[in-house]
Each structure stands twice: as C-alpha cells, then as structure tokens.
Amino acid sequence: MILANGIVYETDAQNELLSGLPEKLNKTLNAKPLDSEIVINAFDNLGQRIAQGEFSDLISSIEMSGKDEYIDLAVRMMSRKYLEYKLKVELGDSKTDLFKDNRITCGRVPLGVLFHIAAGNMDALPVVSIAEGLLAGNINILKLPSVDNGLTVKAMEILIEFEPRLKDYIYIFDTPSSDVVAMKKMADMADGIVVWGGDEAVAAVRSLAKPGTRLIEWGHKLGFMYISGFENKEQELKDLAEHIMVTKQLLCSSCQVIYINTESFDEVKEFAKEFVDYLNAAAAKYPVDEIGAIAEISIKRRVALYDELIGGDLSSKDEAVFYGDNISVTASPDSELELSYMFGNVYVKPLPRRDIMSVLRAKKEYLQTAGLICSPELRDELAAEILRTGVERVTRAGNMSFYFDGESHDGEFPLLRYTRIINIEK
Amino acid sequence: MKSVGRLLRYKDVYDIDGSEELFIDAMRENCKFQYDNSEDYRKILDGMNFNPDNIKSMEDVTNIPFLPTLFFKTHRISSYKNTKHLYKATSSGTQGKFSEIGFDIGSLWSAMIMSLRILRHWKIISPIPCNYIVFGYQPKKSNRTAVSKTAFLTTLLAPALHRTYALKYINGKYEPDLEAVFEAVKRYSKKKAPVRFMGFPSYTFFVMQMMEERGVSVKLPKNSKIMLAGGWKQFYKEAVEKDVFYSLAKKTLGIEEENIVEYYGAVEHPILYTDCPNHHFHVPIYSRVVIRDVNTFKPLPNGQMGLVNLITPLFKATPLLSVMPDDLGILHDGCECGCGIKSPYLEIIGRVGLKDIKTCAAGASDLLDKSNLSKVIQGGEK
C-alpha cells in the first residue's frame, strides 16, 4: 500500500506517483512552513485515541510480549508534553532566531525533504521516524520495512484525517529494497536520508545517496553490561536477567555480553553458572516462544563449532556453556564485544578495568548503551571511563532499554539533524 | 558394509525392533568408513570425542554427531577421493546456498532396492500404463535439482503413456503452466488409462482450485493417484490443511483419499518415506529419527516437538549417516496411528527460523539470514 497526499493507493501506482512527486514537493516547499503546533496537536490526538482503545483491533495484530508497556511508551511519545519537551530540549530557542544583529539574521529551518528508510525491528518505528521529521517541519517520504503489517499507513491515514494540513507532508511507499530505481528516485528528491538498519542497509544507502545529501544513520548497536561489585546483588542480577528476557536481546540497547571486572576465567565461569538461575527465573516470567528462531540459532552455533573443529581454530572449545530451560549463559575467555545468540543466550566475559578502552574502541561503531552494576563509590568513575570509549548511555541493571524523556538517540538530537541553519544578510 | 546388505534384504520394511541389531552394526560400519576416509568428518568426531568403534547400542547411534543441512550448504564433504565418478544431487536452496551431495553407484543401488521394497510394500509399482502429470521441472541437463529427478524417476514406476510437465522452461527460467495442466486433465479424463499426478503439493492444489472456480469437475479413471513429493513445506500448519486437499481432490478429480499418496525424502537423507492409509509417515527400517531439544540437542521423548535428526547407514560417498534438516517435528508412537504398523511416525510441524524477526542488535541480520522470509511457492527445498 502507498499513502500519498492522504490517499491510499495500491502498490502498482508507485512509478506514476513517483514521477509526479518532485513537482508536488516543490509546491509544498514553496508554501508556508509547517507549524510544529499542528504536528504536536495531531499526534497528541492520535496518542489519546490509541490510549482510549480506539484502534485495539489494529493493535491486537501485533504479536509481542510486553505489548502493553510498548503501547504505553508509544502513547507517551506522542503526547503533547513529550513532544513539546523534545522540541525544547533538542532545538531549544534556536528554532526561530539563533541570533540577530544589525546586519545578519541567523535562524533554524527544516531541512526540506526527508527520505526515511525504516527498519522492521519495532512496529511503531516508521511512525516515530515520520513524527520526528514532521516535528522539525519536513516533508517525509518513507519506505516501509518489508515486515510492516499495515500499521504505519493506517496510523498516518488516521492522523491526516484528523489534521488534513499534514497530507502533503507524508508519503509512504511499500517499495522493496530490491527496487533500486525507485529507491534512487526517492533518494534524489531528498535533502536528507534517514536510515534505520544494519551495516548492510547503511552501506547500501551510502551508495545510493548523491554527494551532498545529508545522511542520518541510525545503525544497529551492541549493548553490554559491566559488573564491578554490587550494590544489591540479588536485585541487580534479577533486574538484568529480566531485561534480557523482556527484550529477548533484540534491541540496540539489549545486553549481549556481561563483562566482569576480572582477569580470572574461573571467576567468569563461576558468575555464569550462578547467573543461569537468575535467567531461568526471568525466562519463566517472560518465556521465549520463538522456538523456530532458537532452533535456527542452535544449528548455526553447531555448524560454527564444526567449522572450528575442521579449521583447527578451537577458540570456542574453551567456552563453558551453562544451559537452563531454553536459555544459556556462555562463559567465554576472550573479551570481544559481540552479538550473542539472543533470545536469552548471553555471554559472560572477563574485562579488567584497565582494558575497557582498548576492548571497546575496537567496536566503537557499535557502542551505544552500557549497563553498569558496581559499588556506589565506583559508579561515577566507571561511568565516565565507559563513556570515554564512545558509549552514549550508561544505565542501571534493569534499565538498559528504558527510554528517558529528552534522551539523545545514538548520541545525537535527531531534530538538530533534521534541520539546517540559515543566515540572511540585510 | 555387509550389514547394509543384510538390512536391505530384511523382509518387513517397518520392523524397527527386529532390525535394530542390523541397523546398529550397519551404522558402526558406515561411521568407521566415514571416519577413515573423510578428514573433515574425522576432525568433527574427534573434536566431539566420539569413537566409531564404540557404537554398540541405539543410544550410541543417537550420540553420533549429526551434520545439519546448513553444514552441507557451506561445505563440500566427501569420503571418496575421486569425486568425479559420483552422481551429484543438489537441493534447490534459497539465496544461492545449496547442498551438493555426492552419491556412489553402490549407494544408489542400495537406495533403489530400498525404494523398490517400500513401494512394493505399498503396491505402488504397477504394470498398468498411466498418463502422468508431473508437477516438477522438465528434465534438462543443467537442472540437477533432486526434485526434478525424483519426479521424473517416479514416472517409471508404472509405464508412461504420456507426460505433461507443469513447470516449463521459458526464457531461461521455470514457470508454472497451469492452463496446460488443466487441459491435460480434461484430455486424460476421457481416456481409459489411470492418471498419476506427481510432484509439488501446492501446484496440484492450485489446479484443483482453478477447476473448482471454473466449476469444472472430472472423474478420472479408476486407480488414478495423486502422488505428492517435493517437500512438505506446502503442508505446514499455516498452509493448506490436508483435509481440504483431500475433499477438493474428490470433488474436482474424483480421486479418493486412499489414492492420495505422499512421499518425503531429503537430498541429505534420501530414504523414501511414504504415508500410510492414515497419512502418517512411519519410519522404515533403513532410517531412524531422533527429535532433539532446540537448545541443548538432547533427545526428546516421543510426542514432543523439536529438531528432526535423520539417521541412516545406507550411503557411503558422503557422511549422511546422521543429518539434521531445517525441520521441526514430532515423533509419535506407532501404536497411536492405528494402521497396524508399529514403527513410530514422523510429523513435520514447520521449518526453523523466525518469519519476521525484528531486531536492531548489530550483526543480527547475518545470524538470522532472511532465507526463510522468501516463501517461494515453486520451492521444493527437498
């Protein structure tokens, strides 16, 4: 399905719509700029209607655990309070006039046309991406992720129905990534390309974009936990285990590796063995029902082991895997930050404090969230050390994926990137 | 491989208990052969601390390290030094990854005896000439997909008067030509010879649906059969329910349920599984099935779902003795079936992988490649 100017079209209308699009965009750009108040009011209304259960039929098609919390978060992120706060934190007073003197006026205006390439890792992500683009005053062209379930078009249709003034600012296409010609056309119309996705998606967009087009990359990340002592061991490990099971380690901020401040592999193994019980308890509360995914991962794991046996590289032979019910904790002697097998299969590795910088710098492109469990007197120092490596968020045990009001996204304020600064000489 | 010969001569093809000792002996011989002749296989067994000499019970057989289908897709492994003389079969994998399995002449001979014994048990071999509708590829030299070969080979089980192929090679690729099949069905229905439909279940289903929509029904000659092969993936729970298929076959083609026979076999485990009158795939004596826990690979008791591990001592050139296709299934006690066969039966529930995995953890796309996303109807993975 395609949404253009508030009207839903079938997929086959794509090329015709695309060829007429530049002219439409120019017309909209030439009109009065979009007032953020219109956007805030429309999203606030949409959020309230969702909260009141108006679209429960549509939302019930989303299959995920922790859905209610997720919807609560979505509603909160659409609220007037949140959007106004975001606008204030990210753009401050710079939205209108940065400064004025006798000769020069300096101001912040929308970037123009944003082309969003959304990933499918969260159902509401395409909507969030458009909301941010609109808030900064841009025209938004969105390419839906292949796994979209129709929610995005429906939500935007409802939004436009309530606020028809937004209709010329939202274009949604269900173009597959393989349709390079159409993708290129959309990229050519854009002042900025917002890409959500893994290394491959980001690399593909880089090759697609003309030099000079602003690239805003929200790439995939690897989260980890650093442990150096405890404040309240039982509670903290329980929180960490529940974080792992609730997010199933699928989010950028999810914990993939638990680092222990030690050089002793025995200590790592001891912790891994102990942590299985915590993870088991959390798994009982938030069970993994993706049996097919677990099976596929197990097979890949086994083939990787055979590869090592055949190739004579036996690094994983030194690993110690502790299994629970459908979960596992793997004690590994190396310190590499790497993706776990997810779905409740976490790594535990040694990372002596003095090696934090060198180990994490090796994966600097993937740093974002670090959980930190430590004694209270160490917290400030350790957090600062971790942040210096390039990490952007340091949280407590259970909050690695918690969304804070006013938080940055991968170390940036998106609205700043979705706008540009203009200077006018009198 | 003396024990294989004795296993092949064993009379009752579903007497799992009676043939157990022979099966264990044959597995030990095969495992030793693979261990001695394939360096890679030896490294795997050594690495997993498994000694072929110690195979003395079914438990030991279960403990033989299994090779997943994925392994065959990423490795060319052989126990024959000169692979030029091998007959090579490939699975039609997605995303350019496919298995290429080499078979030696001796093993093919064993496979043929095995197939004939099973088909004779089910009285599939018939001297009465038939008209065939093959839902597969027209044989072509460049097309080594096992499905097309088996589809063609099965047309030899009863003399063929005429063959119509549903997949035509047009402009460099195979395309289904269902109209041609529709015409052939009408034509054959007026003849005396029985008709046999061979191949992918989904195409057979499409044709029957087409007939129903057009309000056309025929009564095919007596003893006409629908023989379904080419993988079960069209029959997963979310796909066509078998009951719907059977009733449609009766309505549009006049074929009774008992004349719908289904087969299962994988390139990595080319043992012929044929369904019984209750449409269950009982394990023949040439094969054993272990269902494993998806996380720990520990064997599960009958009735529980897990990864399917298929075991057979029949093949020499490639270590196929214990393989794991990408299937999730359940092994049921034979007595639950009621058809009289005591051997347990295998039910395939689905494939591994998550259809719409949603993750932003870096590197996850490599780990969970999207091969299961593209559901190609012309599939025939097996």
Q: How many Cα neighbours within 13 Å face the side chain of A123?
A: 19
B360–A196: do the CB atoms touch at under 8 Å?
Answer: yes
Contact residues on chain A for B307, CB-CB shorter than 8 A? 295, 298-299
A250–B360: do the CB atoms touch at under 8 Å?
Answer: yes
Tens-digit pLDDT profile for residues B208-222: 888 888 988 999 998
How many residues would you count in chain A?
426
% helix / strand / coil in chain A, to the nearest 5?
50, 20, 30
Q: Kindly identify which residue of chain A lies nearest to residue B350, measuring between CA atoms.
A: A292
A111 and A11 within one domain: yes
Q: Which CATH architecture has domain B2-112+288-351?
A: 3-Layer(aba) Sandwich (3.40)
The answer to whether position A7 is within a domain reads yes
A196 and A232 within one domain: no
The answer to whether position A304 is within a domain reads yes
Number of folded domains in chain A? 2
The answer on pLDDT for B94 being more than 50 is no
A185 and A299 within one domain: no
The answer to whether position A404 is within a domain reads no
Tens-digit pLDDT profile for residues B311-361: 999 998 999 999 998 888 999 999 999 999 999 999 888 778 765 456 666
Least confident of B13-27, B102-116, B184-198: B102-116
Q: Does A34 touch chain B (CB under 8 A)?
A: no
The superfamily (CATH) of domain B121-266 is: ANL, N-terminal domain (3.40.50.12780)
ipTM: 0.79
Tens-digit pLDDT profile for residues A133-144: 999 999 999 999
CATH number at residue A102: 3.40.605.10
Q: Kindly identify which residue of chain B lies nearest to residue A367, measuring between CA atoms.
A: B362
Specify whether the CB–CB gap between A187 and A142 falls below 8 A. no
B240 or B73: which carries more pLDDT confidence?
B73
The answer on pLDDT for B19 being more than 80 is yes
Give the nearest partner residue to A251 out of B295, B352, B361, using CB atoms: B361
> E strands within chain B?
67-68, 87-90, 100-103, 130-137, 160-170, 173-176, 195-199, 225-228, 260-266, 269-274, 281-282, 288-292, 305-311, 322-324, 327-332, 345-351
> How near does any CA of chain A get to the CA of B64, in Å?
14
Specify whether the CB–CB gap between A109 and A420 falls below 8 A. yes
CATH number at residue A319: 3.40.309.10
The answer on pLDDT for A315 being more than 70 is no
Quote the crossing angle between the two packed helices A80-91 and A125-135, to the nearest 10°.
60
What does the alpha-carbon distance between residue B86 and residue A296 come to, in Å, rounded to a whole number? 31
A120 and A68 within one domain: yes
The answer to whether position A96 is within a domain reads yes
What does the alpha-carbon distance between residue A382 and residue A396 come to, in Å, rounded to a whole number? 12
Give the nearest partner residue to B328 out of A119, A221, A292, using CB atoms: A292
Per-residue tokens: B255: 């074929």
B48–A309: do the CB atoms touch at under 8 Å?
Answer: yes
A197 and A60 within one domain: yes
Contact residues on chain B for A220, CB-CB shorter than 8 A? 360-364
A207 and A237 within one domain: no
Q: Does A220 touch chain B (CB under 8 A)?
A: yes
The answer on pLDDT for B52 being more than 90 is yes
Burial class from Cβ neighbours inside 10 Å (0-12, 13-18, 19+) for residue B326 reads: buried
Contact residues on chain B for A197, CB-CB shorter than 8 A? 360
What are the residue boundaries of the structural domains of chain B, listed by start?
A: 2-112+288-351, 121-266
Q: Does A198 touch chain B (CB under 8 A)?
A: yes
Q: How many Cα neighbours within 13 Å face the side chain of A133?
A: 29
A238 and A172 within one domain: no
User: In the predicted model, what is the mean pLDDT of chain A?
Assistant: 89
A170 and A49 within one domain: yes
The answer on pLDDT for B139 being more than 90 is no
Q: Does B280 touch chain A (CB under 8 A)?
A: no
Which range marks the domain in which residue A239 is found? 223-399
A231 and A183 within one domain: no
A207 and A84 within one domain: yes
Q: At a CB cut-off of 8 Å and minimum separation 6, what does A323 contact?
A: A276, B295, B296
A421 and A391 within one domain: no
A264 and A141 within one domain: no
Of these ranges, A316-330, B175-189, B290-304, the one predicted with the greatest mean pLDDT is B290-304
